[in-house]
Amino acid sequence: MHAALAAQPDHVEALLYLGTTLVARKGDFRRGLAYLEEAGRLSPGDASVFYSLGWCYEFAAHALRRRPPRTPDPELDPQRLYEKAAAYLRRCLELNPDPDMRGDAEKLLDVIEG
Where are the domains positioned within the chain?
Answer: 2-113
Minimal CA–CA distance to 50: which of 107, 90, 77, 1? Answer: 90
Between 21 and 6, the more confident residue is 21
Specify the pLDDT at position 83.
97
Mean pLDDT across 75-101: 97
Which DSSP helix (H) or strand (E) runs through 23?
helix 12-24
pTM of the shown model: 0.94
Mean pLDDT across 91-107: 98
For the domain 2-113, what is the CATH superfamily, name and number?
Tetratricopeptide repeat domain (1.25.40.10)
